[in-house]
Amino acid sequence: MTSSMIAFCGLVCSQCPAYLATQRNDESLARQTAKEWSATYGLNVTVEDVWCDGCTVGGRKCAHCGECEIRACGTAKQVLNCGHCPDYPCDKLNAFFKMVPMAKQTLDGVRRP
């Protein structure tokens, strides 16, 4: 398992319960994560929606990662994550950072030498 995997958007995949459940093949944690995400986001998140190997690598993607515009852009630009993009920060990221300010701190840290 990777010690620290940073998603294109600045979320830390390797700390995400979906990623951890997948890497550990832990169906109990996946069920718990689906239940918590359903309650938190007002959605019907299933166990199948939770399995994820991280957004910057091949493999399974949790439901949102598979359709994420930030991920699609980072993949197209072939950057390790958005902190490595010459257009950082863009409008998509700035909107995301309003919801998840810690992600900006993570990517700002990636940009520092």
- Angle between the 17-24 and 27-41 helix axes, to the nearest 10 degrees? 160
Q: What's the pLDDT score for residue 1?
A: 40
110 in any annotated domain? no
Q: Which two tokens stand for residue 83?
A: 């902190």
* Contact criterion met (CB below 8 Å) for 47 and 30: yes
Cis peptide before 89 (omega within 30 of 0): yes
In a domain, 6, yes or no: no
* Predicted TM-score of the model (pTM): 0.85
Say whether pLDDT at 93 is over 50. Answer: yes
Domain count, the chain: 1
Q: What local confidence, expressed as pLDDT, does residue 65 receive?
A: 84
Is 49 a member of any domain?
Answer: yes
The residue range of the domain holding 66 is 13-102
Q: Tens digit of pLDDT for each residue in 54-85?
A: 989 989 999 888 789 999 999 999 999 999 99
